[in-house]
Amino acid sequence: MQKIIDIYKSRAGEPMYSFEFFPPKDEAGEESLRAALQSLAQMKPDFASVTYGAGGSAQGRTSRWVTDIQREHAITGMAHFTCIGSSRAAVVNVLEDFKSNNIQNIMALRGDLPRDNPDYRPPVDGFRFANELIEFIHSEYPGFCIGAACYPEIHQEAPDAATDIENLKRKVDAGVDFLVTQLFFDNDRFLRFRDLCERQGIRVPIIPGIMPITAWSQIDRFTKMAACNIPQELQAALSVVQNEPQELRATSLAYSIRQCRDLLREGVPGLHFYTLNKSPVTIQILTTLQEGAL
């Protein structure tokens, strides 16, 4: 398996395509993910990532699924890793597990603060922020390729865009090889964010994260939980068909294809699809992009 940054360099300007999954919690979920992987593997992605449970609750499942993706499907894998609540020794144990399973790519994250513990404090020997975790991995485990998250519409805890970019610069300077954005629907906001990164000396590849809306209920969730702006054009179009699932899906799909095409025209290094462990929508988008001219 390859390091993602090496895949990027080998593409010579051609965009990468990648998928994200989450570890299922039960047997039915596992069967669903296996079916999605079987279908999506036919699209020959450049890499696939698996998320990490809240507080590391899915640590073993993350490693197992990334290993399965690499061994069974011959796809380069990336393991997400959140350091929140973990001691340094626990972090080392996870990194050693990744290393022993030939996992070379890590998405290094702090993780969400516990909602039920407003007075949370990290372990004394743990890591408070993602940049500290990244610096540790980069220094102590230089064999890993490190990805990090970024936020075109700023992180929810950041007071303003300038502070958010400063925090991102700290992460990149600590040893990040590439960035993947949180999902967004407004390309103009992404492009302004990319320009701001360039002005601040952030010059690692920034891969847009894509997640089509497949149900009207997702709009409220995206806007509240992910602080994600839904453009008026898209929201108006979806509102007309909010009670017609197939029409809503078709409308959203058309918007996502147009969004992806416009991003590719802007020269993004790739597209990272948040699949929610389902394959049809992602396959439709990627097939259209690969078959049609931009």
Active site members: 20
C-alpha R_g of the chain = 19
Rounded to whole angstroms, how far apart are CA atoms 29 and 290? 29
Count Cβ atoms below 10 Å from residue 188 Cβ, excluding itself: 11
Segments of 68-144 assigned E as strands: 77-82, 105-109
Distance CA 136, CA 77 (A): 21
What is residue 128's DSSP assignment?
S
Output the CA–CA distances (angstroms, integers) from residue 20 to 77, 130, 269, in the order listed: 10, 20, 17
Distance CA 112, CA 237 (A): 32
H/E element, 145: strand 145-150
Contacts of 12 (CB under 8 A, 6+ apart): none
Contact 89, 57 (CB under 8 A): no
Question: How is residue 14 written in tokens?
Answer: 């051609």
| Both tokens assigned to 226 | 């992910």
How far apart CA 154 and CA 164 sit, in angstroms, is: 6
